[in-house]
Amino acid sequence: MSIKPNKSVYLADDDEDDCMLFKDALREVSNSVELVTANDGVELMHLMEKTVPPPPDVIFLDLNMPRKNGFECLDQIRKTKAWEDIPVVIFSTTGQEEMVRKVHEKGANFFIRKPGSFPKLKQAIKQILDIDWTKHSWTPAPENFYYQY
C-alpha cells in the first residue's frame, strides 16, 4: 500500500530534537505529506481553531508538554464536534501501562512509543500514514492499540 499524496499531518511536541527527527523521517517516507508542528498543546489548539476545516489526516500528539499536555488536548479534540473524528496517534517516550490505558479510554486511535532509532521512526510513521482512516475502526482493541518499535 502506498501513502496517499497530499496528506496533512500535525505534530504536537515540545522537544525540538524529536520534531526535527520526525520531520526528517517523514520527508524520507513521503515528499508529498505536509507537516505542521506545534510546540505545545496550547499552540496546537490555536492552530486547529485557525485551520480546521479542513482537518489534518492525522495528529501525532506527545503527552508531556508544557501549558497544555497531550491528555488535555486529546480530551478537547474528542469533545469538539469539528475535530472529534480526526485520527490522533499518541507519540510519547512513556510506555507506562496506565498512560496507554488512559489515552485509549479517552479515544486516541493508537499509541506509539517513540522509537529509539531513525529507521524504526520511519517505519512507525509509514505504518500510520498507510492506514485508510475511512475504513479503520475508531475504537481499536487494547491489544491493537500500542506499538513499541
Residues 112 and 124: beta-carbon distance below 8 Å? yes
pTM of the model: 0.90
**Which amino acid is it at 23?**
K
Inter-axis angle of helices 70-79 and 97-106, to 10 degrees? 20
| Residue 115 DSSP symbol | P
Instruction: Supply 88's cell numbers.
Output: 490522533
Rounded Cα distance between 13 and 62, Å, is 5
| Residue 144 DSSP symbol | G
Rounded Cα distance between 97 and 68, Å, is 22
Residues 6+ apart with CB under 8 A from 21: 118, 121
What is the CATH number assigned to the segment(s) 8-148?
3.40.50.2300
pLDDT in tens, the chain (149 residues): 445 558 999 999 999 999 999 999 999 999 899 999 999 999 999 999 999 889 999 999 999 999 999 999 999 999 999 999 999 999 998 878 888 889 999 999 999 999 989 999 999 999 999 988 887 656 666 666 766 66
Instruction: Supply 42's cell numbers.
Output: 496550547
